[in-house]
Amino acid sequence: MTKLRWGIKTAPQHTTYEAMLRVWKEADEHPAFEHAWLFDHFAPIQGDLDGPCYEGWTLLSALAAQTSRLRLGIMVTGNTYRHPAVLAHMAATLDVISGGRLDFGIGAGWNEYEHESMGIPLYKPGERIRRLGEACEIIKRLFTQHLTDFDGRYYQLKQARCEPKPVQKPHPPFVIGGGGEQLTLRVAARYADIWNSTGGDVETFRHKVQVLHEHCAAVGRDPSEIELSVQLRVNYDDLQATTEAVRAFVEAGATHLVLMLTYPYPEGIVARLADEVVSQCS
């Protein structure tokens, strides 16, 4: 049986730093879990818009410094929020801080309120995804080359540096989130080490995987090189239902499994998930 890799996600909305830190430390100490995630938003995307929402990369740096084993990342960074060369420096720094534990998550960006409220351009979908493709190429080069020149449609670099380089060689794994069949999955086929499905039922997931594999064939990529990832919300009142939902995606080919926790996090939830979900699916 293919090895399953389990993780948790604490979306940093309507929660506290102390609560997230407690859960991450518990997961860091539990061998059932290999990875942990935040999201990249500037206001809650569920519930009261006026509630607290922590900045993802800043928070991830703090959590990286207080954990020792978990792989960690943002599921996924919105490319539109930061110039890709700046983001490359952030990611390289975090990989150093964490001792080489970063999974580099990136997507095209989508949240209308955040862009409009902060005056950040939200381009048409096609342009956003083309920008994502250029961003992946730029970041990969900055991670691996001494000097980077890039003359793209949207971004231009001239003898750009990124030092220190990430600890991981040749670079941290790229995690690309999104399900657009014509453009996003083509970018994933070219650059992703992990592709994260952005929701939908199991049949939708199966279909997206098929499309991803078709794009892999078109670009000459072995589809087995791309790990298939899903995020599933944990039902604290019915962990058996969570297990059944996870199992259906595992049967459809998912091996990178992210259990999404909502605040308040029940006492001992990490150990319970290991005992009542992970053990039932592995």
Q: CA gyration radius for the chain?
A: 18
Per-residue buried b or exposed e for 139-172, using 16+ beta carbons within 10 Å of the residue's own CB: bbbbbeeeebebeeeeeebeebebeebbbbeebb
CA 44 from centre of chain: 17
Position 236 scores a pLDDT of: 98
Using CA atoms, how far apart are residues 16 and 220, in angstroms rounded to an integer?
45
| Helices within 67-154 (DSSP H only) | 84-97, 112-118, 125-144
Q: Which residues contact 92 (CB under 8 A, 6 or more apart)?
A: 142, 143, 162, 164, 165, 166
Residue 219 burial (C-beta neighbours within 10 Å; 0-12, 13-18, 19+) = exposed
Question: Is 175 strand, coil or helix?
Answer: strand
Position 1 scores a pLDDT of: 59
Position 62 scores a pLDDT of: 98
Nearest to 35 by CA among 73, 63, 1: 73
Determine the Cα angle at 224 with ends 274 and 258, to 5°: 25
Positive or negative, the Cα torsion across 59, 63, 65, 69?
negative
Position 258 scores a pLDDT of: 98
Position 198 scores a pLDDT of: 85
Position 2 scores a pLDDT of: 77
Could you tell me where the beta strands, DSSP code E, fall in the chain?
A: 5-10, 35-38, 71-74, 77-78, 104-107, 148-151, 156-160, 174-177, 194-196, 227-233, 256-261
Question: Is 106 strand, coil or helix?
Answer: strand
pTM: 0.97
With a cut of 50, which residues of the chain have pLDDT below it?
Answer: none
Using CA atoms, how far apart are residues 138 and 148, in angstroms rounded to an integer?
8
Residue 203 burial (C-beta neighbours within 10 Å; 0-12, 13-18, 19+) = exposed
Q: Which residues contact 25 (CB under 8 A, 6 or more apart)?
A: 66, 67
Position 199 scores a pLDDT of: 84
Nearest to 20 by CA among 244, 270, 281, 253: 270
